[in-house]
Structure 1
Amino acid sequence: MTQRKGLLLVFILLLFTTLLVGCGWEKKQSSSPSGEKTSESQQVQVEKEKTTELREEKGAETQSGKDQSQVLKQDLKQSPLNPDQKQQPNNKPPVPQRPLEATFYERRESKGGIEVEITWVTPEYLRARGQKPTPEQERDLTSNLVFNIALTTHAGNLMSFDFAGSTSLKINGQEAGKGTWQLVSADAHHPEGILRFTAPVDEPVKDLTLIIKGLGEVPERVFKWELP
C-alpha cells in the first residue's frame, strides 16, 4: 500500500512538472511574436523618421537652389549691359560723315592779281576724283590735315612767299599750330605745294578755317570747310 502511494506521488509530480513546462513553453511562444512585432514596428518607425529627414533635407536644398536662382536672375536684371551690347551708352561723340562730292573739298579765290586754289585732300576726295588711296596716303591723310595749294599770277615771283610762316589753321575753332610746306611745282608764276597740319586725336574734325596772310596785296584770305 505504501509502495502504491509512493508511485502515485511520483506520477503526480511528473504530471505537474510536465504541465508547468508546457505552460512555460506556450507563454514563451505567445510572447515571442509580440516581441518580434514590436521590434519590427520600431524598425519601421526608424526608417520612416530617416525618410522624413532625407525629404526635409532635400526640400531644403531645393529651396536653397531656388533662392540662389532667384538671386542670380535678380543680379542679371540689375547688372549693366556689357560693352558689346547695342544699348551700352557711347561716351564718344559721333564722327561727322565727310561728303563724297569732290566740290565740297575745293576752294578758289582770285584777289590782288593772284588766283588761289586750295583743296582739302582726304580719302573721300581722292575716291570722288576716281583715285584709290594707297596705304601710305591713307596713313598720311589720317594723321594729318593735308591741303594742296596752287597759285597763279601773271606778274611777279611767288616762289619767295613763306607759306609755312604765313598760313594758319583752326580746327573746331582752336589753333592747330604751325604747318609744314612741301613744294611740288617750282614755277614762279604757277607754284604749287602741299601744306600739312597734325590732325587732332582726341576729337573729330567738324570745321576747318585756313588763313593765308600777306599774299599779294590782300592782308588775309580765309577758306572754310564745315562738315554737315
Structure 2
Amino acid sequence: MLRVVVLVSGGGTNLQAILDAVDAGRITNTEVVGVISNNKNAYALERAAGHGIPAQCVSPKDFESRDNFNRVFLEQIDAFAPDLIVLAGFLVVIPEAMIAKYCNRIINVHPSLIPSFCGTGYYGLKVHEAALARGVKVTGATVHFVDEGTDTGPILLQKSVEVEAQDTPKTLQQRVMEQAEWKILPRAIDLIANGKVKVEDGQTVVCE
C-alpha cells in the first residue's frame, strides 16, 4: 500500500481529484495518509478533514527563519512515513534536504506542457496568461518528479488541451484542470503505486 502525503496551498481541487479517484478505484494500492498546507485558510484542509485524513498547516510565516521552517516541515513530512509526496498546487519552495531524502519520491503537477511556460514565476493563472499572450493553440498539464530545479525534474505524464479563441486565463485554467490535471495526476499515482514507473538516466520509464 503506497502511503501518500499531499501538499497544498489553496482550494485543493487536485487533492479532491486524488481522493475521488481513490474512492472510485482508479487509484489502487494507495492510501492518502496526510495533508499539509502552508495556508491555514486553505479549503484543502477541510477537504482532507471531510475524508478523515490528518491535516495540518506548517507555514514559513510562523518561523523566525527559513531554516527553522525547513527543519520542522521535514519533521512533519517524516512523521507520516510517506512513500510518495504529491505537490498539488503547493506554492512553497521544497527544502533541498527533503528533495535529497525523498529522491524520485516527490511528484508535482504543473499546468502547462513542460518545457513551455514553466520555471520560476510560472504558477497559477500566470501560466495561462503567458500561454494566451504567446498565442499557443495547444497547452496542457505535466506531472513530473521534483528535483533541485523549478519544474526541471523527469517528466512522468503529459496531456494536451486545445486553446479556444474566446479563452480567458480563468476559462483556460479550468479546462486544463478538468481535461488534464485531474486525469493525469491520479493516473501517475496509480502507476507509481503499482510499480510501473522507474527513473533511468534522468528520464522516466513507464511499464504499462
Q: Bin the TM-score by the shorter chain.
A: under 0.3
Q: Which of the pair has the greater relative contact order for Cα pairs under 8 Å at 6+ separation?
A: 2
- Structure with higher helix content: 1
